[in-house]
Amino acid sequence: MRPPETPKARPPVVMFAYRRPDHLRRTLAALAANDGASETHVILHSDGPRGAADAAAVKAVRKVAQEAVGSGAFGDFAIVAQDRNKGLAANIVDGVTAAMAAHGRAIVVEDDIVTARGFLDFMRAGLDRFEGDPRVWHISGWFYDIDPAGLPDYALWQVMNCWGWASWADRWQHYREDPQRIVRDWDRATRRRYNLDGAHDFFCQIEDNASGRKYTWDCFWYAAIFEAGGLCLTPTRAFARNIGLDGTGENCGPADMPALDTSRRFESFPPEIGESPEMVARVKAKVRLPMLNRAKRGVKLTLMSVAPQATERLLGAYGKLQRPS
């Protein structure tokens, strides 16, 4: 059973695509299967090619998008095609800013985010419920693969996840890209809190932007929310899944993602939604181990580059100690 309709205007879905037509096709198919998709206004921003090598893939993306225009799957489907390459971060920031200015709120989906049937209803209900609550800045569609037993279905917490999300214009207006200021002004304790009490290194992305190694946007949106003391609404079972962690993306390498129940619908929110310390504890336990493993690998690679033979002997001796006698 679908939740009752509200008198508020439906927020648009703002989509972003570059050169992955197959990913976009899957993302659009999942979005079209959402409850309420046929009454939803979709704006797809197609970035331009970086060079001749990307031209064919960009053309294929726009063909997939054009098929959606006449499919009848959505209430309206508009394509904003860039002649030149803006880059992922600039394309998203400019597109979200334009949608917020025009509509006051928006749902954001990149070309590699497959959504469950209830994703749009969840986003709309969250936008309606928390529009007047200044504590809440962001709504996340994706969530970590943790055991949800005993947890609330929905909770508020500090971390922003951008794999299918929504927000309001009066919150988004605080978005700023100033990595040098953040690196300069945030002390160790502040960085640790941003890093979920040291459980995961979110701050490294800000440092990479400050040094010019990366140009991303999501760390700055999280920073804006964090500095304002804002909270993010999250489901404890995801309504979205990233299918782009296969080496084809702009900023993320290959990774395994759990399957998504695409048939899952949104029913309703409970009367009260608050913070869940137990949920946060489970997320910390989930993300802390991979970070430790990456740190160990980094130390190993550093030692191998400085003294490869000595490192091999040390690792070999350690391995023998670990074997049962």
pLDDT at 246: 62
Mean pLDDT over each residue of the chain, to the nearest integer: 89
Q: Can you tell me the mean pLDDT for 108-113?
A: 98
Asked if the structure places residue 307 within a domain, the reply is yes
* 62, pLDDT greater than 90: yes
pLDDT-derived band at 4 (thresholds 50, 70, 90) equals very low
pLDDT at 306: 59
Helix axes 218-227, 203-211, angle to 10 degrees: 120
Asked if the structure places residue 313 within a domain, the reply is yes
pLDDT at 259: 87
* 296, pLDDT greater than 90: no
**Bridge partners, 11 (sequence order):** none
> Can you tell me whether residue 128 is helix, strand or coil?
helix
Asked if the structure places residue 271 within a domain, the reply is no
Residue 261: CB atoms within 10 Å: 13
Q: 80-89, 132-141, 242-251, 297-306 — which is least confidently predicted?
A: 297-306
* 291, pLDDT greater than 60: no
pLDDT at 96: 99
Quote the longest CA-to-CA distance of the chain: 72
Asked if the structure places residue 71 within a domain, the reply is no
Asked if the structure places residue 322 within a domain, the reply is yes
pLDDT at 79: 98
pLDDT-derived band at 315 (thresholds 50, 70, 90) equals very low
pLDDT digits (tens, 9 = 90+) for 161-198: 999 999 999 999 999 999 999 999 999 999 999 999 99
Q: Can you tell me the mean pLDDT for 240-269?
A: 77
Q: How many domains does the chain have?
A: 1
The whole domain housing 316 covers: 287-325
pLDDT at 248: 57
pLDDT at 131: 98
pLDDT at 245: 83
pLDDT digits (tens, 9 = 90+) for 94-103: 999 999 999 9
Asked if the structure places residue 223 within a domain, the reply is no
* 293, pLDDT greater than 60: no
> Can you tell me whether residue 16 is helix, strand or coil?
strand
Asked if the structure places residue 303 within a domain, the reply is yes
Q: Can you tell me the mean pLDDT for 141-167?
A: 98
pLDDT at 8: 72
Q: With CA atoms as reference, report the closest residue to 228 among 317, 151, 137.
A: 137
Count CA atoms closer than 13 A to 8's CA, side-chain side: 16
The whole-angstrom separation of Cα 309 and Cα 304 is 8
The whole-angstrom separation of Cα 58 and Cα 36 is 29
Beta carbons of 138 and 171 less than 8 angstroms apart: yes
Asked if the structure places residue 324 within a domain, the reply is yes
Percent of the chain's residues with pLDDT above 70:
83
* 305, pLDDT greater than 70: no
